[in-house]
Structure 1
């Protein structure tokens, strides 16, 4: 998590927060000073003095409240910027991830990272960092006033406070582990919830009891982790709060000794005791914030997984003349393919056929890097695909995907051209104004084909893309693909001679 970069990006807002903190703290600090002056001059109080001290007292509180409000509003703006910028950055990083890296996480992890983990990092790290700076400024301002009142007692209070700063070291690591446990459990809950809701077609009075029980188990397990975390946080708060009573006791006892020896006035002691309560708040907050920030390290590591761009220094390509698959071998569990050799030329149309389990889809996933291939087996214009970023070259399609937007925008998403080619837009003629939810499988396929043809990608791989579409739609859409100038690789179970003859080459696996 690049805290410094984010703060530098929002340095004006950060500075305003600190400025408003300084002003609010400075004005509230005038209250104990006013109390001291009233006590010292109580024998000479008259209407003029009462009005003067009373005005200072009231104005100090009013200005304190005003600048506290300004500070809180500015912190809210800082938080808004964090969530907008960070969630966008995480999502953009996910878009750039290699399929191999993305497969390391399930959908629950990914959604949890964008929603829950970004919130946890803000609340327990970014916001805590701001609060820590606020507490340090408050502490400095209050201590400055206390030194003005009596430097001896102030030093004693500071030394007493120092004991409290050992607490984060004692409790921070365990809290970090518990926060990560809770975050992981939230990811698992989202994943399991998605799995349960996938069974919507079999929701009925007979199955509802089972689904309800499964959700209860998943939800209870997650909330138990959250409860354990809150219990430990409560313990650390009490533990750190107890140390503040030690400061109060030390101030009172030593202060009384100094008063009895005439080293300070009783009015100074009363004012300092007033400041002790003010100092105790930032001291307590500093301890708790350090504990909180320290305990967030594992969550930050989880979020950093999505923010590291592994393709940053890899050569990106978006054109080619020849693709060569040489002696391709791949195995996983009990599945294995060996010695696959295929040559693909720019602009040609290929159809891939073979028995179930022969490796058709696996070969195309290796070619599109949906599965990471071995070195020296796939080459694009003589360059090993391992060293190339090919997402702008090859578009791999296996599912019908429609986003919640207009048909026009669904087609444009892969190419931001203002106008879609008339030939491409004619594919969706008659359905261009329909809601995406009302589209049939065949209509969804039309939108996906139009999007693919409208894209910059020179290579389209269709992995059993027409499996759930009627035969007529399959033939019509295939004809549109054949007419394009793109390189087409179509995996199919359609072995009709008429269909296969539409392609330049049939690849048998």
Structure 2
């Protein structure tokens, strides 16, 4: 998925793909496929046994099969919609419960567990109501098939009884038919109904993985590339130009024409909501829905392209893995322990070692420590362009000054979004760019 497609849903809904959708697809396709082979074998065996008793019973079996084949077609479209809808409701339910569980501290500190109960009850009822509708629908389809099977079985038994009375078949044939007809009918019913579930599984697969069609190729992790979303690193330093760019958000953010030249240091300032971060996200390719032009080395950048081969970026949403500090800073494993330790010392994390273990998303760190690690991760990539979004927001003045100095020395081109500008930082910056919100009057 590209960045915007992924971010359109909560990660809890994406998690549901792994824990709900994929197991459901396996159940609906592989499991049903194997079961259908078993049912087809049973039905064919019963069919040939009926044919050996009397050819007319085979004809009745064929008629029964045709009748029962017609019934699932009446339910096919709705069944697919119900199964797809149920998976979607399950994803929403999983996401909502994940959110509520993450909010435990808030409920605890505000004595608001009644809100948890209320919200979880609403989410659960919505999901289970849809589940009930789905099960009721599938039961209706099964009931129709069972009725057809019972009707045909009654006709077959009555016909065999007639043949017995006319001495055209042995009396034992009646007992055989009493066993074979239900066996044939139930096998056909399961074969046909599971065929519809199988088709629904394929439909769910195509709907869920529509973005990956034709790309089902197992790759070694070192070979994985997202070529259609990548601008390859340029042999020459990158210049970045922004021309008449607008973002169709609620406030219709528009930006002045800007050019970031190689080897220069820039500070971007502006009020909250003026769109500083959004502008940068459009430049690096995390926002694709914009009008106007963004040019890289004077060539128009496509919205679906990013420039991370040449740019190192630190955003405001720091995510840390449950792993060592080294593996969190040096994601590709290119640095030695000494290099990581030196970087930790430079960002003010002297008390940590490269092999220190972080809890999930750095729960055992303070906000400032998390920010320092995010900064270290960006610097460790050693790219020509370093873009920092509020890199010192949670730090005291002295610590902020240390990181700002390190930032300006760590890359040829630096673009830093900041809310504060002291004289020391100003002396290292080539240009300060002020972005004003739509309703902000110029000073």
Same fold (TM over 0.5): yes
Alignment partner of 2:377 out of 451, 463, 467: 451
User: CA offset at residue 380 of structure 1?
Assistant: 1.4
Q: How many residue pairs were aligned?
A: 410
Alignment partner of 1:275 out of 180, 186, 206: 180
CA contact (8 A) 2:43 2:187 kept: yes
Matching residue of 2:69: 165
1:484 partnered with 2:410: yes
Alignment partner of 2:321 out of 403, 417, 421: 403
1:249 partnered with 2:154: yes
User: CA offset at residue 391 of structure 1?
Assistant: 4.1
Gaps of 5+ in 2: 216-225, 345-349, 436-443
1:431 partnered with 2:373: no
**Aligned counterparts, 1:372-391, within 5 A:** 372=288, 374=290, 377-386=293-302, 388-391=305-308
User: CA offset at residue 364 of structure 1?
Assistant: 0.6
User: CA offset at residue 252 of structure 1?
Assistant: 1.3
CA contact (8 A) 1:427 1:447 kept: no
Distance in 2 (CA, whole Å) between partners of 1:301 and 1:359 is 37
CA contact (8 A) 1:324 1:379 kept: yes
CA contact (8 A) 2:25 2:205 kept: yes
User: CA offset at residue 295 of structure 1?
Assistant: 4.4
Distance 1:219 1:458, change over 3 A: farther
Distance 1:137 1:473, change over 3 A: farther
1:105 partnered with 2:22: no
Alignment partner of 2:256 out of 314, 318, 339: 339
Distance in 2 (CA, whole Å) between partners of 1:145 and 1:453 is 76
Matching residue of 2:389: 463
Matching residue of 1:323: 239
Distance in 1 (CA, whole Å) between partners of 2:157 and 2:58 is 12
User: CA offset at residue 496 of structure 1?
Assistant: 0.7
Distance in 1 (CA, whole Å) between partners of 2:382 and 2:157 is 76
**Aligned counterparts, 1:298-309, within 5 A:** 299-305=204-210, 307-308=212-213
Distance in 2 (CA, whole Å) between partners of 1:291 and 1:152 is 29
Alignment partner of 1:133 out of 37, 51, 70: 37
Q: 1:435-482 CA distances to partner (integer Å, 9 max, x unpaired)?
A: 313222233233323322333754332211321233333333333333
CA contact (8 A) 2:240 2:261 kept: yes
Q: Which structure carries more helix by proportion?
A: 1
User: CA offset at residue 216 of structure 1?
Assistant: 1.2
Gaps of 5+ in 1: 1-96
RMSD of aligned alpha carbons: 3.0
CA contact (8 A) 1:400 1:465 kept: no
User: CA offset at residue 110 of structure 1?
Assistant: 1.9
CA contact (8 A) 1:453 1:481 kept: yes
1:154 partnered with 2:58: yes
CA contact (8 A) 1:240 1:287 kept: no
SS at match of 1:342: strand
Distance in 1 (CA, whole Å) between partners of 2:52 and 2:385 is 76
Distance in 2 (CA, whole Å) between partners of 1:102 and 1:309 is 19
Q: 1:160-219 CA distances to partner (integer Å, 9 max, x unpaired)?
A: 222111111112222333333333322332333344345433324742222321221222
**Aligned counterparts, 1:167-246, within 5 A:** 167-204=71-108, 206-246=111-151
Distance in 2 (CA, whole Å) between partners of 1:119 and 1:478 is 48
Distance in 1 (CA, whole Å) between partners of 2:351 and 2:255 is 47
Distance in 2 (CA, whole Å) between partners of 1:498 and 1:390 is 30
SS at match of 1:327: strand
SS at match of 1:250: helix
CA contact (8 A) 2:371 2:394 kept: no
Distance in 2 (CA, whole Å) between partners of 1:146 and 1:460 is 78
CA contact (8 A) 2:241 2:295 kept: yes
User: CA offset at residue 287 of structure 1?
Assistant: 2.2
Distance 1:162 1:456, change over 3 A: farther
Matching residue of 1:93: none
CA contact (8 A) 2:268 2:418 kept: yes
Matching residue of 1:260: 165
Distance in 2 (CA, whole Å) between partners of 1:336 and 1:274 is 74
